[in-house]
Amino acid sequence: TQLQDEEKSKEYLDELEFLAYTAGGEVYKRFVQKMQMPNPKTFIGTGKMEEVREYVEENDIGTAIFDDELSPAQQKNIEKILRCKIIDRTNLILDIFAQRAQTSYARTQVELAQYEYLLPRLAGMWTHLERQRGGIGMRGPGETEIETDRRIVRDRISLLKKKIATIDKQMAVQRGNRGALVRVALVGYTNVGKSTLMNVISKSEVFAENKLFATLDTTVRKVVIGNLPFLLTDTVGFIRKLPTQLVESFKSTLDEVREADLLLHVVDISHDSFEDHIASVNKILDEIDSADKPTVMVFNKIDAFTNQTIDEDDLTTERTKAHYTLEDWKRTWMNTENTDAIFISALNKENLEEFRKMVYEKVREIHVTRFPYNN
């Protein structure tokens, strides 16, 4: 329905704004357009574009961000019209990853993803430079120059790929050396509280902040619950429309997930779109053949869960989803016999004992099958 569409686009733009903020930007205005199909030339329609152009000009806006990946041609066309920096969702996410990469491995992966994003856009960039130089009377760079650039970028890409392949091998060896300890991986949408939970569980100090993608490099900690040691990995936050360049280049990060024995799928139940988040995460898990692993659904942030107050007169027997209480949710699919689910607050340390017990039981089950004679 239209109302649902509006809610969705608001949520998407909320998230985009949050991403922009994470990247260090400040958002002045949002524009929404409902279309069956994006305009092949300019993504949005002519009228809307004019509206945006006026706003950009009047307010001296430096950057316009689009919530979808723009084709190189679209990006070029829009840049010509708006005369400001044009960034798409992929570009924005790559930028955040680049800012936050802490290890040389992560930096190499991001650089590779950035070059792969850049390659098809090289021609467009030249046009952009031309305009900055004044354009008229200036001969633009010939095809040969663009070709030279393409070759340089291609060479760089193959070099980075080789470098990554070497580190991948080393990392695979390291993972192998970790022995037969049961491996547990925290997965979940970005900003749901994975690092916080990791800290509480392993009593370590993993960086946690209210920004998207605070976690970029995986952290592995040895954790002991009730004499049972296991390895706990905090993985990169998943996100809707994760750029394909990144899915590929973060293969090794995702290997931690692929090789895990147990997944703790953390969900921010206080977020309006938490069901979408679950779906996005499951999609990525599916892509790396990890959808069938034993999984515990960890519904976090129960302290922040609020269900909207409702007018008692409107209350029919069929409650709408927005009016579900936590108790209602617990009675849905989340807590059926074949899903292991737990409701916690990592921040307020609510229900953590239950959580530990559940993890212990699960790890123990796996441990026993692995060392049948030691138990």
Q: Which residues bind ligand GDP (CB under 6 A)?
A: 188, 190-196, 208-210, 214-215, 237, 300-301, 303-304, 345-347
H helical segments located in 178-273: 194-202, 244-249, 251-258
Cβ nearer to ligand GDP, comparing 5 with 353: 353
Contacts (Cβ under 8 Å, ≥6 apart) of 82: 49, 52, 53, 56, 64
For ligand GDP, which is the closer residue by CB, 160 or 208?
208
Residue burial 343-354, b: 16+ Cβ < 10 Å; e: rest: bbbbbeebbbee
Q: How far is the CB of 188 from ligand GDP (least distance, A)?
A: 6
Closest separation in Å from C-beta 353 to ligand GDP: 15
Give the residue with the Cβ less far from ligand GDP, 265 or 367: 265
d(CA 6, CA 23): 25
Query: To the nearest whole angstrom, how small is the minimum distance from the Cβ of residue 305 to ligand GDP?
Result: 9
**CB nearer to ligand GDP: pick between 301 and 362:** 301
Q: Which is nearer to ligand GDP, 61 or 206 (CB)?
A: 206
| Closer residue to ligand GDP in complex, CB, 91/270 | 270
Helix H or strand E encompassing 46: helix 46-59
d(C-alpha 158, C-alpha 142), whole Å: 25
**Residue 320: helix, strand or coil by DSSP?**
coil
Q: Which residue has the tokens 């530990």?
A: 356
Q: What SS3 state is found at 183?
A: strand
Do the beta carbons of residue 15 and residue 240 sit within 8 Å?
Answer: yes
Task: For residues 55 and 101, give the distance between their C-alpha atoms in angstroms, rounded to a whole number.
Answer: 34
- How many helices (H) and strands (E) would you count in the chain? 13, 8
Q: Which residues pair with 65 in a beta bridge?
A: 87
Residue 106 or 118 having the CB closest to ligand GDP: 106
Considering only CA atoms, which of 107, 143, 75 is closest in space to residue 216?
Answer: 107
Minimum separation from the CB atom of position 87 to ligand GDP (A): 22
Closer Cβ to ligand GDP, 87 or 214, answer by number = 214
Q: Does the CA dihedral 236-291-91-16 come out positive or negative?
A: negative
Q: What H or E segment, with its residue span, contains residue 122?
A: helix 122-132
Cα 87 off chain centre by? 17
Owner of token pair 């992560």 = 106
Q: Which is nearer to ligand GDP, 76 or 301 (CB)?
A: 301
The CB-of-345 to ligand GDP minimum distance in angstroms stands at: 4
Q: How far is the CB of 347 from ligand GDP (least distance, A)?
A: 3
Query: Please, what is the minimum distance in Å from the beta carbon of residue 214 to ligand GDP?
Result: 4
Query: What is the edge-to-edge ordering of all strands in the sheet holding 295-300?
Result: 219-225, 228-234, 183-188, 262-268, 295-300, 340-343
Shortest Å distance, C-beta 264 to ligand GDP: 11
CB of 302 to ligand GDP, least distance (A): 7
